[in-house]
Amino acid sequence: MAKSETARRPRAPKKTTPASASSRTASAKTEPPYHHGALREALLEAAERVLERDGLAGLTLRAVAREAGVSHAAPTHHFGDLTGLVSELAAIGFRQFNAAMVSACDAAATPLARALARPKAYVAYAQAHPGMYGLMFRTERLDYSRPSLHEAAEASFAGLANAIGMMRQEQISEDALTLNQGAAIARAWSMVHGFTMLLLDGRLEDILGRLPEGTTPERLFETMLMAPIAGKLPA
Amino acid sequence: MAKSETARRPRAPKKTTPASASSRTASAKTEPPYHHGALREALLEAAERVLERDGLAGLTLRAVAREAGVSHAAPTHHFGDLTGLVSELAAIGFRQFNAAMVSACDAAATPLARALARPKAYVAYAQAHPGMYGLMFRTERLDYSRPSLHEAAEASFAGLANAIGMMRQEQISEDALTLNQGAAIARAWSMVHGFTMLLLDGRLEDILGRLPEGTTPERLFETMLMAPIAGKLPA
DNA sequence: CCTCCTATCTTTACATCGTAAAGATCAAAT
DNA sequence: ATTTGATCTTTACGATGTAAAGATAGGAGG
């Protein structure tokens, strides 16, 4: 909290060279855009950098603006307020997350691998992007009425429900679930999400420390997943 | 965020009546203590009130001081900083939580009830004290090096490990766990914690809405818990 | 009884934050 | 070429955490 606010932003003194091509459509990544350019995207990239560098507490509107090299009020025009920026960034996180899930499932060959690929990818994503995961699941400052966030989160949930349906060899309907289906989805999600949160919060250190020498979180997670579904896999 | 900071605190004009009994040990709850008294406890009570009324975002040092009717810098002397106050309050939360667990387990008669009593009490506590639960498990601003918080959280974990040991009819050692024991503890905790977080965040609305008419979260939770342990209960 | 000491509480001050409003600037439309 | 409107900057305000200095008693020692 001792960051001097008077840190000068590196900007063109007063005028950019008139030759600087800053077309709205083209992405000028070589030099910082002065007035126009893809500020929105630049801000989101800056925000992700700040988030993974300084954590959730460091993700402020002003810090993002600083990181992007613009005035502190610039983000307002693109995102309205902090909730807006945070929500758009969370949407990106969900999309990254969904992509990771898909590619992990595609890479799985055996039925056992298929059953474990998704949860393992879930935890792996959270470990690789703890800031993003915290943004997606810890922050209270998310506006799910924003279409981008709503859709991305919805897609994430649909993927989960689908995976459970595959495992149970059932068709998951769009608008109706049996109690057992709902319970299976809730159980899988709760287990994976709960484990991830506890792991990221360091609350499993206590368990891990008492386990046989050198037991990794992944091994613990795998063991914990295997027990209930043992014998329930097809073939 | 539009709270006028100039809200006058109701204080004795300049001097309290010299007859006001403000012994350090006695708790003068009838009239606000001026200089001495149990400010520490009063601040913690005020903090809990603010937390459950205004949520995590509303729990600020200054808001707590306002609620307690003292100057905004008064809490500093008792808790150091916001992390200090928040950590002490979380410790109280863990103690409340532990007490709720114990009384719930004591009230259970049948083996099935014993197996379900703890998880149900877990979710029930979180629903009854969402602010406290968020403080204990969502905030990043906790200092577990504080003895009070460390001990209370430790006791909570020990209770969980113990309950799992009872269900498995094993003795849980103090300093060593088998992989299966650790996995069982991690699974139970992850499931309950994950479900609670998702429920409090409203992320289960999607599932609940698709379930048979009038299915409560408790019913979903119970169903989700039953499946893996069905047939594993003694007698 | 008087004085001083020390813990406790208040005042004041400062850097930071989110947000609103007004001014500047430039690409593009007319 | 002028106007327009979107984009960005400046300025301003209230709120926050925290540090530092001042005020206030309750008790200790003479």
Instruction: Identify whether residues B61 and B169 lie together within a single domain.
Output: no
* Substitution target from B193, B222, B229 for chain A, most A beta carbons within 10 A: B193
Window A:115-154, CB contacts with B under 8 Å: 134, 137-138, 140
Task: Place A35 in a pLDDT band, splitting at 50, 70 and 90.
Answer: low
Contact yes or no for B227 and A183 at CB 8 A:
yes
CA angle B89, B94, B98 (to 5 degrees): 150
CATH number of the CATH domain containing B134: 1.10.357.10
Instruction: Identify whether residues A205 and A102 lie together within a single domain.
Output: yes
What CA–CA distance (Å, rounded) separates A217 from A200? 11
User: Is residue B32 domain-resident?
Assistant: no
* DSSP-assigned letters across all residues of B128-141: H-HHHHHHHHT-S-
How many domains in chain B?
A: 2
User: Is residue A153 domain-resident?
Assistant: yes
What CA–CA distance (Å, rounded) separates B40 from A221? 42
Least confident of A97-106, A168-177, B126-135: A168-177
Per residue in B159-211, pLDDT tens?
Answer: 999 999 999 998 888 889 999 999 999 999 999 999 999 999 999 999 999 99
**Window A34-93, strand D contacts by Cβ < 7 Å:** 35-37, 39-40, 65, 70-74, 76-78
Instruction: Identify whether residues B116 and B210 lie together within a single domain.
Output: yes
Contact yes or no for B197 and A57 at CB 8 A:
no
Q: At what angle do helices A39-58 and A82-107 cross, to 10 degrees?
A: 90
User: Is residue B180 domain-resident?
Assistant: yes
Instruction: Identify whether residues A129 and A67 lie together within a single domain.
Output: no
Least confident of A1-5, A54-58, A87-91: A1-5
User: Is residue B15 domain-resident?
Assistant: no
Shortest Cα–Cα distance, A185 to chain B (Å): 8
Instruction: Identify whether residues B178 and B71 lie together within a single domain.
Output: no
Per residue in A191-225, pLDDT tens?
Answer: 999 999 999 999 999 999 999 999 999 999 999 99
pLDDT given at position A231: 53
Per residue in B106-140, pLDDT tens?
Answer: 998 888 898 899 999 999 999 999 999 999 999 99
Instruction: Identify whether residues A42 and A110 lie together within a single domain.
Output: no
Half-sphere exposure of A8 (CA within 13 A, CB side): 4
CATH number of the CATH domain containing A54: 1.10.10
Q: Å from A70 (CA) to D20 (C1')?
A: 35
Contact yes or no for B223 and A179 at CB 8 A:
yes
Instruction: Identify whether residues B135 and B181 lie together within a single domain.
Output: yes
Q: Å from A48 (CA) to C27 (C1')?
A: 29
Q: Hey, is B157 helix, strand or coil?
A: helix
| Residue among B140, B175, B210 whose CB faces A56 most closely | B140
Q: Which of B77, B88, B7 is nearest to B45 (CA)?
A: B88
- CB-strand contact B33/C, under 7 Å: yes
**Sign of the torsion formed by the C-alpha atoms of B109, B115, B118 and B124:** negative
pLDDT given at position B111: 84
Instruction: Identify whether residues B162 and B191 lie together within a single domain.
Output: yes
Instruction: Identify whether residues B102 and B207 lie together within a single domain.
Output: yes
Instruction: Identify whether residues A108 and A56 lie together within a single domain.
Output: no
> Is A185 part of the contact surface with chain B (CB cutoff 8 Å)?
yes
User: Is residue B139 domain-resident?
Assistant: yes
- CB-strand contact A77/C, under 7 Å: no
* DSSP-assigned letters across all residues of A19-53: T----SSS---SS--SSSSSHHHHHHHHHHHHHHH
Q: B210 contacts in A (CB within 8 Å)?
A: 173, 175-177, 182
User: Is residue A30 domain-resident?
Assistant: no
pLDDT given at position B171: 86
- Residue B105 in tokens: 């387990």
Return the residue of B nearest to A134 by Cα.
B138
> Is A216 part of the contact surface with chain B (CB cutoff 8 Å)?
no
How many other C-beta atoms lie within 10 A of the C-beta of residue A96?
A: 17
User: Is residue B2 domain-resident?
Assistant: no
Domain boundary among B51, B80, B109: B80
Window B:15-34, CB contacts with A under 8 Å: none
> What residue spans of chain B are helical by DSSP H?
39-58, 61-68, 74-79, 82-106, 111-128, 130-137, 147-167, 179-200, 205-210, 217-229
Query: Between residues B217 and B24, which one has the greater pLDDT?
Result: B217
| Cα-to-chain-centroid distance, residue B80 | 21
Instruction: Identify whether residues A41 and A127 lie together within a single domain.
Output: no
> Residue B211 belongs to what domain range?
90-224
Instruction: Identify whether residues B135 and B219 lie together within a single domain.
Output: yes
User: Is residue B213 domain-resident?
Assistant: yes
